[in-house]
Chains A and B, each alone.
Chain A
C-alpha cells in the first residue's frame, strides 16, 4: 500500500462545475495535510493546508479532512480552465518533518 494515494485521473469537468479531488493516507498519526498545484513543467505551488478535522475554505477552494477515515479532499468551486493542472496531496507523517507526496491527480477543465 502506498503511503499517500491519489487517483491519477485525468479528472475532466466542465467550466463552472465543482471539481472534487481525493487523497487517502496510511499513517494514522499524520497531523498536517497539504494540497499543491503543479502546472506542466513548473514547480509545485501551495494551494491549501489543513490540520483539523472538518472543512477549511479559501476562496474557491475547500479542503476537507477526516482523520478517522484517513482521507483528505480538495473541492474547487466554479472551476476555470486555468485550474487545469496536476494536484498533489502531501502528508506530514508522525515520524518527522518531511512531506510524503501522492503521485497527483490531473485535472482538466473544459471551456
Chain B
C-alpha cells in the first residue's frame, strides 16, 4: 500500500487477555519500529526491526511484550496477560533503511483499551 497500515484501529479487551497488533510497512521499507503513546505523553520506543531481526528491543517494558516480523514485511506485536497500564495508542513506523538519515513514516496506530 501507499502508507503504513495498522490493524485493528481500535481494540478493547479485558484485563488478563492476550492481544495481537499488526503492522504492514510501506512496501520496500526494511526498517520497522514500534512505539506507544499514552494519553498526553510523548512516544515511547518499544522495538526496532531491520529485516526480520530485532537489533534493538530495549524498549519492551516487560516479558509480556513480544514482537516478530516475517518475510521482511508484516510485523506483529503481542501483549500477553494485558494490564490496565498497557492502555495506549500503539504506533508502527517504517523507513527505507535503518540508516540515521532516513525519516520514519507512521501508521494511524491501534488504540488499545484494557478494561
Q: Is B109 touching A43 in the complex (CB atoms < 8 A)?
A: yes
Q: Is B103 touching A98 in the complex (CB atoms < 8 A)?
A: no
Q: Is A45 touching B106 in the complex (CB atoms < 8 A)?
A: yes
A46–B103 alpha-carbon span in the complex (Å): 8
Q: Which label, helix, strand, loop or mixed, suits the secondary structure of the A interface? A: strand
B41 contacts chain A at the CB level, 8 A cutoff? yes
B31: chain A residues within 8 A (beta carbon): 97
Select B108's contact among A32, A42, A88, A98, beta carbons within 8 Å.
A42
- Give per-residue flags for B62-96: 1 if the beta carbon is below 8 A from chain A beta carbons, else 0: 00000000000000000000000000000100000
Q: Is A97 touching B100 in the complex (CB atoms < 8 A)?
A: yes
Least CB distance, B39 to chain A, in whole angstroms? 11
A92–B103 alpha-carbon span in the complex (Å): 10
A51–B102 alpha-carbon span in the complex (Å): 11
B104 contacts chain A at the CB level, 8 A cutoff? yes
The interface-forming segment of A11-19, A53-61, A63-71, A101-109 is A101-109
A98–B47 alpha-carbon span in the complex (Å): 8
Q: Is A96 touching B106 in the complex (CB atoms < 8 A)?
A: no
Least CB distance, B41 to chain A, in whole angstroms? 6
A38–B4 alpha-carbon span in the complex (Å): 16
13 contacts between A and B (CB under 8 A): A31-B100, A31-B101, A32-B100, A43-B91, A43-B106, A43-B107, A43-B109, A45-B106, A96-B48, A97-B31, A97-B99, A98-B58, A103-B41
Known interface pairs A49-B101, A92-B100, A103-B41; 17 further A-B residue pairs with C-beta atoms within 8 A, sorted by A's residue number? A4-B42, A32-B100, A32-B101, A43-B91, A43-B106, A43-B108, A44-B91, A45-B106, A51-B101, A90-B43, A96-B56, A97-B100, A98-B33, A98-B58, A99-B45, A100-B45, A104-B42
Interface residue ranges, B against A (CB under 8 Å): 31, 33, 35, 41-45, 48, 50, 55-56, 58-59, 91, 98-101, 103-109
Interface residue ranges, A against B (CB under 8 Å): 4, 31-32, 34, 36, 42-46, 49, 51, 88, 90, 92, 96-104
